[in-house]
Amino acid sequence: MDFFIDPIGKLINEFSKLPGVGQKTAQRYAYRIVSMSEAEAKEFADAVVDCKKRVKYCKICGNFTEEEICDICSSGRPRSTICVVKEPKDVIAMEKMREYRGVYHVLHGVLSPLEGIGPDDIRVKELLNRVNEGGVDEVIMATNPDVEGDATAMYISRLLTPLGVKVTRLAHGMPVGGEIEYTDEVTLAQALKDRKPI
């Protein structure tokens, strides 16, 4: 870092903390900040602090919110269907599709024995409480289709099924617009197994 004067070196160091940002990219970002007007840089910095200060997690579902309760939970959407996701950003992905009209539950993580993340480290208890309060017909497990996401979905379904609630999982299959040639064997096998009448 000794080629950079102190304030630039520090900023490069901060930018390096962002996901996927290495030294070179952090340098480019820092140079961009230097070439901004003072007002622009201030606006940038304020957005960072503001975001951290104003963004909280919904007391009910764990989604991003500025209030106690998020927009989705406080809307009139039916609470009989809960879609369970790993992160708040997954809620945004689901909402962008504009097909789902139920509510969410954000786990803030998935079970990972290797990383020492157990059921008490993610929001499983909160989900059980919501189901126990009644009025829930279906819980859709929308964790990622990987080992940890699958294990988490399986674990939660075993807890919820005895409570008389239907637990479902997002379908596995070929991505729309994908090509058979480039689809991995496991996905293709799943797509074949779950084939449907046309």
CB of 161 to its own copies, least distance (A): 32
* Single-letter code of the amino acid located at 115: E
In the complex, minimum distance from the CB of residue 124 to its own copies, in angstroms, rounded to a whole number = 20
| From 15-23, 152-160, 168-176, 183-191, span contacting its own copies (CB under 8 A) | 15-23
Return d(Cα 171, Cα 158) in angstroms, integer: 18
User: Any idea which residue has 């689809």 for tokens?
Assistant: 183
CA torsion, points 192, 166, 98, 78, in degrees to nearest 10?
Answer: 170
Residue 48 makes contact with its own copies by CB under 8 A? yes
- Look-up: residue for tokens 């939660």? 156
Output the smallest distance, CB 183 to its own copies, in A: 12
Residue 51 binding its own copies, by CB under 8 A: yes
Q: Are strands 103-106 and 64-65 parallel, antiparallel or unpaired?
A: unpaired
Stretch that binds its own copies, among 60-68, 78-86, 163-171, 184-192 (CB under 8 A): 60-68
Which listed residue (120, 133, 182, 185) binds its own copies by CB under 8 A? 182
The answer to whether 58 and 73 have CB atoms below 8 angstroms apart is yes
Answer yes or no: are the C-beta atoms of 58 and 108 closer than 8 Å. Answer: no
Q: Which residues are at the interface with its own copies (CB under 8 A)?
A: 3-8, 10-11, 13-14, 17-20, 24-25, 27-34, 36, 38, 40-55, 64-66, 71, 87-89, 92, 95-96, 182
